[in-house]
Structures are given as C-alpha cells and as structure tokens.
Structure 1
Amino acid sequence: MFARKTAAGFALLSLALAQTLSGCSTVSMAEGGAHPGSQMQASFSNVGGLFSGGPDAPAYSTRIFVVSTRKGGNHSTELTPGAVARYSLDTITVPPGHEAGDLERPNWGAPDPRRHIAVADHSALDDREFRSQLAAQISGRVGLSRDVLVYVHGFNTSLDDARFRLAQLVVDGNFSGVPVLFTWPSKSALLAYGADKESATASRDAYLKVLNEIAATPGVGRVHILAHSMGTWLTMETLREAALSGTPDLNGKLGQVLLAAPDIDLSVFRQQISRLDASKFSVFVSKGDRALQLSAGLQGDRRLGALDPGSSRDRELIDGLGVSVYDISAFSSGLIGHDNYANAPAVVSQIGATLNKAPTDQGQAVIDAGADRSVRPDPRAITTTDLPPVAEEQKAAQ
C-alpha cells in the first residue's frame, strides 16, 4: 500500500513539475467537451479561405502558415530527417463566446467549434507551394496588413497548443497581417529539458531559412517575431546566426522582436544582443515566473525572463541591455505564471499595439483601414494604449 501511494505521489509531483516547466501548456479548459469521436458540428462553406455559415458558425477564423521540424503530427517528439522543415496552411476557428486571453479547449473528446478553438482545415505544402501561397496571401494587401508575424513556442508544447495559441494572439491582438508558426518537436517529459533544447538547436537552420524566405517574399512589409520561453533562445541563436552571415536585420525586413518569459541566461543574452539592433527588441519579464525559477535552479544561472525591475540590482542589469523591458508581474495568474504574455488581456493588447504600429508611430496603434476584418473582432474593442516599458515608467514617477 505504501509503495502504491508513493508511486502515485511521485507521478502527481512529476505531472506538476512538467506543468511548471511547460512553455505554453497552461490553457483555459472549457467545460463539457464533445463526445469522443464526434465530428465538427458547425456547417461551413469555404469562400476565399474565410468561413461563413449558419448561426452555429465560429465568430472568427484565421489562416496560419505552419513551418515544422516535427517528423509527425500533434505530439511528435522526433525531428524530421536532417531537421528539414515541413509546411502547411491551416485554418483555425475561434468560438463566438471567446474571451481575450483564453484558449477554449474541451476537457475530453473532439472540439465543438461552437464552444472550442479548433482546426477547420489543413493543407500540406511543399517548399515551393509555401513560398507561392505566402506571396499570394500578401499580394494586394496594403500598409500594416503586409506584415508577417512569426510565432515560436517553448518547451513541452504540442502542435495544437502552438497553433491555437497563435490564433488566439492574432484574434485578441487584432493583428491584420499574415501569421506564421514555427514549431519544433518537444519530448513533453519532465526530464527531457536538455533533449528539447537539442531539438530546438537542431532547428536553427530551418528557422533561419524560413525567415529569409519570408523576408524575400515580394511585397512583404516587416517580419515580426513573437517567441516564448525556450523559443526565445532558439530565436536569439537564429538571429545571431543571421548577423554572423551578414544579414542581422533580414535585409531590412526585421520588425519587432518580442521575447516573452525568455528562458535565456543573462550573460548569453548579452552576447546575442550585442550583434543585433537592441531597439527592435521587447522583453516581457515576471519576477514570479516559477517555471523560470525552476529552470535557473536546474541550470545554475538566472534567466532573463525572471528579472525583477523593482530590484536595484536588476534595474542596473536592465538598463545595460538596451532593450525595452515590460514588467508583467502584476498580471500573473495561476500557480506557474509562465503564460502571462498570452493569458492577460492587457498584455496581449500591448503586444497587439506594438505589432500594429507603423515604423514611425510613437503613440497609439494605427490600424490599417484596408485590412480585412471580416473574421476579426471590431478593433474599437481592442485597447491599444501602450504599457510603458519599466525605464519610462520610472522616469515618469520621478
């Protein structure tokens, strides 16, 4: 009996720690999942890639390009041969009752698109088709809608976790450009942190290749990057590689680089950012991020995303980095506090405001009047007032 209780207790502890280390796995679970094996119940008609239908049709849909070094599907833990990327174009639907910051997922069974975020369409592409389809998506767009947002997830994240999170961020942040997910395989296991970092490292060449392909697309605007947790390390290493090859700004196309809860050693980040234009980078930190605290304990070094702007010592570190730093500690939710960047509506709004600024904007976000919003919320419902970086906030208080 004691042995069984001990084993059960260890299993529960392992599960809790796995959640702590998770890069993006904390999601809002909707009540009453659909019965296993049930089919999508809403009736759709696909017109120009946008979904319309009866009263049960989802309120919003967004098309996402997926670039993956996963060998298989949703929970694949292996790299593709040679870590060569695979491509697809997926349509993700978001339910009518969606609330900003939530990922409406069923507790069990297949998703009901009237209540849950879901995959409505999946089309595999080869490299040539990806470039062609991306160019077609950008063609005819004007202003900010020509921008591309590349999202890179963190540790312990399935394909569905990543593409659903990107769809949520696009809808909640009112991003009018073209979203692209770069996803790499995770072992999704407590003791596989090192193995996951190796998988991320092996994906650098594929990541840089797709960034260069996006930047070279005719008519493209800026190429923004939003990375989370271990995905920030992959992003910084890839951009450092781009700098070493002579294209630190992707031939003038690199836009904003947003690093959420970066799981990066401070000394390593200093080396990485020294080769890049720090003014393009925003870092979202939280002193209560328990996942990063555990990561620091495992690796022996402080993590960039766990800096405390209220500490005089950390203030000096922040001032020396040259990047914009946003303290989102006050928006912490749950026991872990690692997904605040996406779970807190005010922070998502800040991300949207940053991405929706024209290059010369200094104040409110400018929403492109020519953008297609037929499947997005009314932009007037989105708060776009900037949260000041901590340096500006402290100056204003003096």
Structure 2
Amino acid sequence: MPAFFSWPSNGESPVEGTANYLRDFTKAISSIPALEEFLVQFGEKTRAEEIYVLAHSMGSWTTTHALMSLALNRPKLAAKVKLVTLAAPDIDARVFTVQIAPAMVKAGYAVNLYASDNDKALNASRVVWGRPRAGIAGAALTLSPGVETIDASDIDTDVLGHSKYGDSPALLEDMALFYGGARAGQRPGLIPRKRGAETYWQIQAPPH
C-alpha cells in the first residue's frame, strides 16, 4: 500500500532563491515529529509487515531523523522498516557519515543512496552551507559502511540534474530491483567501482 508524506516546502532549490531555501531547512527540521507520527500511524493502521521508504533532496534530512527517532522510541515498529532510498540527499556529507549513516545501519535499515556530480541544486547548496552534500558524487562522493552508494552522474534528464530520480527509467528500474530485495551487486545495471578499499556503484546510462 503506497503512502505519501508531504512537508511544507517552498519547492525552491538554492539555485532559485537562497532565502526560501533556508526557510525550507527550518521546515524540514520542524517536520521530523510529524513524519515519525505518520510512520507510526501507517504501521499501526495498515499492520504492514514490511515498510519501504523513499526520500528526495532535503526531505532526506527529515526522513533520516524521523527514522532514527523511530528506532529509539518504537523499536518494534522500526524493525518493520527494511529498505530506505535516499535520492540526492541534501544533507551535510560529514554529518551523514559520522552520525546518520551509523545510526541508520545500527537500526537495521538497508540504505540505498543515489548521488550525482551534475546536480546543480546540490552544488548550489554546497555553496550556501560551505560544506559538501551527501548527494554529490565525483571527488566528494560520500561512502559510509553499510550504505550502498550509487553514482548516477551518467543519467541526465533535467536541467538542474536534481529530479532525474523520478524521470529516468534506468533509475526507476534500479529502485524497483532494490525494493524487490536485490542488493547492488545483484542488479544488472550497476558497475562496481573502487575508491581505496571502499566499493561504490555506477549506474549505466541507457544507450541512445
């Protein structure tokens, strides 16, 4: 049963306006308790045995913090959350690596992270905050133990490179395989890459 949670974003990237973008961050933080309660209500009313989550951009901040809180406050319900996709997460890369990723993995969530080095919105966010974002690929690609990171830079479907995750058949197919239980090494569209001792994955662009 699909369900959607919408938080009160202005819907503007930092490319379009810094003021509204910063106000959105405040709203993203204040929406954490509401999303946690939404997950509780969804889990209890549907009696779902497994819950899969998908978050995009700044919504990834709200989602990861709601899930971390859920693991502390309602561990039995949190155990039903099996798979989590973070598409272009607008989260401080170091905060993600040091705090968020370890907490998510400890809670038992399988996390799939899509990043891109041609995401203009996240690159603008990096300028605003002065720090890399977890959804940026290239030299700043964020790798964390227990998180499967996928470089989607070769997929290009929109001007800002930020909304490709809902527009690209290749990405949607990869997400479907993930939610079907296939780990990155089992999905045919992904190529393994190495950075030192760490492995990440690159999704192949469809042939033209």
What TM-score comes out, normalization by structure 2 length?
A: 0.79
Q: How far did 1:302 drift?
A: 0.3
Q: Give runs of aligned pairs for residues 183-194 of structure 1, distance below 5 A.
A: 183-188=6-11, 190=17, 191-194=19-22
Of 80, 83, 104, which aligns to 1:253?
80
2:103, 2:201 → 1: CA distance?
Answer: 27
Partner AA of 1:250 in structure 2: L
Quick check: 1:338 aligned with 2:168? no
2:137, 2:24 → 1: CA distance?
Answer: 24
Greater share of helix residues, 1 or 2?
Answer: 2
What residue is the counterpart of 1:293 in the other structure?
123
Quick check: 1:323 aligned with 2:147? yes
What residue is the counterpart of 1:305 in the other structure?
135
Length, aligned pairs only: 188
Question: Identity across aligned pairs (percent)?
Answer: 30
What residue is the counterpart of 1:179 in the other structure?
2
Quick check: 1:266 aligned with 2:88? no
Instruction: Please tell me whether the aligned partners of residues 328 and 340 of structure 1 are also in contact (alpha carbons under 8 angstroms).
Output: no
Which sections of structure 2, spanning at least 5 residues, go unmatched? Answer: 194-198, 203-208
Q: Give runs of aligned pairs for residues 85-234 of structure 1, distance below 5 A.
A: 178-188=1-11, 190=17, 191-217=19-45, 219-234=47-62
Q: Give runs of aligned pairs for residues 67-82 of structure 1, distance below 5 A.
A: none
What residue is the counterpart of 1:355 in the other structure?
179
Query: Kindly tell me: are residues 342 and 198 of structure 1, through their superposed partners in 2, closer, same or farther at Cα, counting changes over 3 Å?
Result: same
User: How large is the Cα RMSD of the aligned pairs?
Assistant: 2.6
What residue is the counterpart of 1:142 in the other structure?
none
What TM-score comes out, normalization by structure 1 length?
A: 0.43
1:239, 1:218 → 2: CA distance?
Answer: 18
What residue is the counterpart of 2:196 in the other structure?
none
Q: How far did 1:388 drift?
A: 4.9
Instruction: Please tell me whether the aligned partners of residues 325 and 389 of structure 1 are also in contact (alpha carbons under 8 angstroms).
Output: no
Query: Kindly tell me: are residues 235 and 392 of structure 1, through their superposed partners in 2, closer, same or farther at Cα, counting changes over 3 Å?
Result: closer
Instruction: Please tell me whether the aligned partners of residues 150 and 201 of structure 2 are also in contact (alpha carbons under 8 angstroms).
Output: no
What residue is the counterpart of 1:283 in the other structure?
113
Q: How far did 1:209 drift?
A: 0.7
Q: Which runs of 4+ in 1 moved over 6 A?
A: none
What residue is the counterpart of 1:12 in the other structure?
none
Query: Kindly tell me: are residues 232 and 389 of structure 1, through their superposed partners in 2, closer, same or farther at Cα, counting changes over 3 Å?
Result: farther
1:328, 1:345 → 2: CA distance?
Answer: 12
Instruction: Please tell me whether the aligned partners of residues 261 and 305 of structure 1 are also in contact (alpha carbons under 8 angstroms).
Output: yes
Query: Kindly tell me: are residues 252 and 293 of structure 1, through their superposed partners in 2, closer, same or farther at Cα, counting changes over 3 Å?
Result: same
SS of residue in 2 equivalent to 1:283: strand
